């Protein structure tokens, strides 16, 4: 079965014995190493023995830092076991009390959200909660192109004029000092539910609930905004229950039934899948299978997804369709879709989002080609360039983040893609690599006055910059990131969980591996190496993907696919191997394309077979 279930049978690939399979320079320039560190071997053995688990599963869990005592809740993450008291979050009790007041006083409530998946899910959660209490909250999602990210004074004034007495910001607001100050000046109360990194200064509002504010000690900074919003709803329902609000004829809302939205946001926002987040996703996927949410059901139908959804589907099938509205269409489409119960209307909106997603792909392809050409020139002139910064007057600012992610994949360094506007400013999105905190760099340049505005996380950030400042911004990025970027690229390692052959890959094996899931950020899917396998029947799919069959020395075969590999080192080695054995690494997944149910390998890297150094 799996060679990873015991010590590697490949002398050059064992823990502590150097590069796995002797691969010190793969097609992507990675060193392959066994994920399970020597110091974790005993833990893996104890996990297997104390919990009666197969050796392979013990190794996978130990390699992800799971302690022996935490195995039960890891394998069966439940809301009951992992749900904290919402009051551990700073200002949560204030927020819950103010939202409860609005419900009991029948006040007009407005929800101001972000235009991505997390913002749409958070907005829909809040509106559904209000609907369960007989209030129809107004959702406002800013236009990405004309308004930018977060609350702005004009939008706030509109909401107050419409009668909003309480404005709840979700997935935004923690840095919106001017706009939220304007709301207070106009007589509206404000509750901020956010998760983005915050400075010491906070908006002067009624409550700021954010596990990433500097004085919050909850240790829940890994939650996405929808997770924070869900905890706020739990706290508000508890507050209303304590006030005697629920009783005969006034039932408490079924909050667990809304976890499908929390699961979607958790996966799509790429927050760490550990502790409570894992419980959100596991429980949320179970609820999503029931297709109770009209909007999610319509999206699943639009994507022709006829199988139970998985984290992959949330991140790469459903998420992009919701994001398409905010990127190139009506930013409010996603939130509206996820908060309605009308099947007919939901089907119409889902069809629009599906079309916009196809259009987005076309725009992205053209932008990526131009951005790659410009980035190639920059890296050729400076191979140690710490960050790629490219821009164009022709680019769509709703797609710059996607292109930045692609540049990171290709050039293995932080990347910033800027769409320049006629007014002399540009909107940019940045993506980073492990070990380089791009969010801190952006906040630093904002504090220095080099950026109009900016913020974000270690791995992703956004900025607005004046065109006449771009050369100075490039120079400052260079100075701030050169050392950390160089170190991060030099230390690039592809971690391998073990070696397999196609003969050992079957449904039982995949079910065993999936016990350690769901997988995603912070809990990576197990990556297996297939040593010295031959590539058969390689063919290009679409314009960029390569589908092939791997053949082991015993003649056993496994379907495989390498996404966006054409013209890349991975694709070149696959297509030029001409039946010669190569090492292949990737993760296993179920594939139902064309009505077929099969297991295939998603190829992440390949390497020539050679003698270990």
What does the block give as tokens for 73? 């809740």
Q: Which residues pair with 530 in a beta bridge?
A: 584
Rounded distance, CA 90 to CA 162, Å? 30
Could you give the count of Cα atoms lying within 13 Å of 109 in the half-sphere of its Cβ?
Answer: 28
Q: 382-491 domain in CATH 2.40.10.170?
A: no
Torsion angle, alpha carbons of 311, 312, 313, 319, to 10: 90
| Three-class DSSP category at 356 | helix
- The domain locations on the chain are 3-35+497-608, 82-355, 382-491
**Tokens 């131009």, residue?**
370
Residues of the chain under the 50 pLDDT cut: 1-16, 612-613
Rounded distance, CA 294 to CA 346, Å? 6
What does the block give as tokens for 278? 């894992």
- Confidence at residue 256, expressed as pLDDT on a 0 to 100 scale: 97
- Confidence at residue 6, expressed as pLDDT on a 0 to 100 scale: 34
**How confident is the model over 373-399, as pLDDT tens digits?**
999 999 999 999 999 999 999 999 999
Which CATH number is correct for 82-355, 3.90.1640.30, 1.10.1040.10, 3.40.50.2300, 3.40.190.10? 3.90.1640.30
CATH tag, 3-35+497-608: 2.40.50.140
- Confidence at residue 138, expressed as pLDDT on a 0 to 100 scale: 97
**How confident is the model over 431-469, as pLDDT tens digits?**
999 889 999 999 899 999 999 988 877 888 999 999 999
């Amino acid at each position: 079965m799996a060679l990873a279930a015991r010590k590697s049978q490949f002398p050059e690939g064992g823990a502590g014995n150097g590069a796995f399979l002797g691969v010190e320079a793969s097609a992507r320039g990675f060193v392959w190493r066994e994920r399970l560190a020597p110091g974790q071997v005993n833990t893996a053995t104890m996990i297997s023995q104390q919990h009666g688990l197969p050796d392979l599963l013990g190794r996978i869990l130990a390699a992800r830092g799971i302690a022996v005592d935490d195995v039960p809740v890891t394998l069966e993450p439940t809301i009951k076991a992992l749900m904290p008291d919402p009051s551990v979050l700073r200002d949560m009790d204030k927020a819950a009390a103010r939202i409860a007041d609005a419900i009991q006083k029948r006040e007009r409530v407005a929800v101001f959200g972000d235009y991505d998946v997390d913002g749409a899910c958070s907005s829909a959660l809040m509106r559904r909660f209000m609907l369960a209490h007989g209030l129809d909250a107004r959702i406002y999602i800013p236009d990405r192109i004309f308004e930018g990210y977060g609350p702005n004074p004009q939008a706030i004034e509109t909401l107050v004029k419409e009668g909003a007495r309480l404005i709840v910001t979700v997935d935004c607001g923690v840095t919106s000092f001017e706009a939220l100050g304007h709301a207070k000046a106009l007589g509206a109360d404000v509750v901020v539910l956010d998760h983005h990194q915050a400075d010491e200064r906070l908006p002067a509002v009624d409550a700021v609930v954010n596990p990433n504010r500097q004085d919050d000690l909850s240790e829940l900074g890994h939650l996405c905004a929808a997770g924070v919003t869900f905890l706020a709803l739990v706290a508000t329902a508890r507050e209303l229950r304590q006030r005697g609000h629920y009783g005969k004829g006034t039932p408490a809302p079924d909050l667990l039934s809304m976890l499908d939205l929390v699961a979607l946001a958790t996966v799509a926002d790429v927050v760490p899948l550990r502790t409570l987040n894992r419980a959100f996703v596991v429980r949320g996927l179970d609820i999503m299978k029931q297709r109770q949410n009209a909007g999610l059901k319509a999206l699943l139908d639009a994507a022709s997804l006829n199988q139970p959804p998985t984290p992959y589907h949330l991140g790469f099938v459903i998420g992009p369709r919701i994001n398409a509205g905010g990127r190139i269409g009506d930013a409010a489409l996603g939130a509206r879709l996820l908060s309605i119960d009308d099947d007919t209307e939901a089907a119409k909106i889902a069809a629009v989002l599906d079309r916009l997603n196809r259009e987005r792909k076309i725009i992205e392809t053209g932008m990526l080609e131009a951005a790659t050409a410009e980035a190639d020139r920059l890296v050729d002139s400076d191979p140690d360039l710490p960050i790629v910064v490219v821009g164009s007057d022709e680019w769509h600012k709703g797609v710059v983040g996607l292109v930045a992610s692609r540049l990171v994949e290709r050039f293995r360094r932080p990347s910033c893609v800027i769409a320049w506007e006629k007014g002399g400013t540009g909107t940019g999105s940045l993506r980073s690599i492990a070990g380089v905190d791009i969010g801190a760099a952006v906040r630093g340049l904002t504090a220095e006055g080099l950026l109009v505005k900016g913020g974000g996380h270690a791995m992703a950030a956004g900025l607005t910059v004046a065109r006449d400042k771009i050369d100075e911004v490039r120079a400052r990025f260079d100075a701030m990131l050169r050392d950390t970027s160089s170190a991060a690229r030099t230390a690039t390692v592809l971690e391998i969980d073990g070696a397999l052959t196609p003969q050992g890959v079957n449904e039982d094996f995949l079910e065993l591996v999936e016990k350690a899931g769901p997988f995603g950020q912070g809990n990576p899917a197990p990556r297996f190496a297939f040593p010295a396998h031959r590539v058969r029947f390689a063919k290009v799919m679409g314009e960029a993907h390569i589908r092939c069959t791997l053949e082991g020395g015993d003649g056993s075969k496994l379907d495989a696919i390498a996404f966006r590999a054409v013209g890349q080192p991975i694709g070149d080695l696959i297509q030029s191997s001409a039946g010669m054995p190569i090492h292949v690494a990737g993760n296993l997944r179920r594939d139902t394309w064309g009505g077929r149910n099969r297991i295939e390998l998603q190829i992440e890297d390949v390497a020539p077979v050679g003698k270990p150094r």
